[in-house]
Amino acid sequence: MEILKTFGLFVMTALAEIVGCYLPYLWLKQGKSPWLLVPAALSLALFAWLLAQHPTAAGRVYAAYGGVYIGVAILWLWLVDKIEPSRSDWVGAAISLVGMAVIMFWPQGRA
């Protein structure tokens, strides 16, 4: 159950970060309203708060989060940008998720 909770929290964190960066992208690159910066800032604040909800050391959380972020970003590419990910996109995302699992769930010994 802890694995699902951790993974779910990482997915929500990734979505908050991607939305927080995507909205300014729409303003800067596609001429959308600058008012998009308001929900973008709120989304990035949510991102920071969600990242702080993990009970383990910050550096470990940041390292592992990166793996989930990659996977969610590939899904974003497919579902939002409407670009079909390549085989190498999927393989890279899978490798990053394995890395996340090793970092977060491998038994931690003393340094």
Cα dihedral 74/76/77/78 (nearest 10): 90
Please name which of 24, 11, 76 lies closest in space to residue 50, comparing C-alpha atoms: 11
φ/ψ of residue 78, rounded to 5: -75, -50
Q: Determine the residue type at 11.
A: V
pLDDT tens by residue, the chain, 111 residues: 788 988 899 999 999 999 999 999 999 999 999 999 999 999 999 999 998 998 888 888 888 899 999 999 999 999 999 999 999 999 999 999 999 999 888 887 765
Q: What per-residue confidence (pLDDT) applies to 8?
A: 92
The owner of tokens 């940041």 is 62
Q: What per-residue confidence (pLDDT) applies to 111?
A: 56
Q: Which residues of 55-80 are buried (b: 16+ CB within 10 A; e: fewer)?
A: eeeeeebeebbebbbbbbbbbbbeee
The structure's pTM equals: 0.87
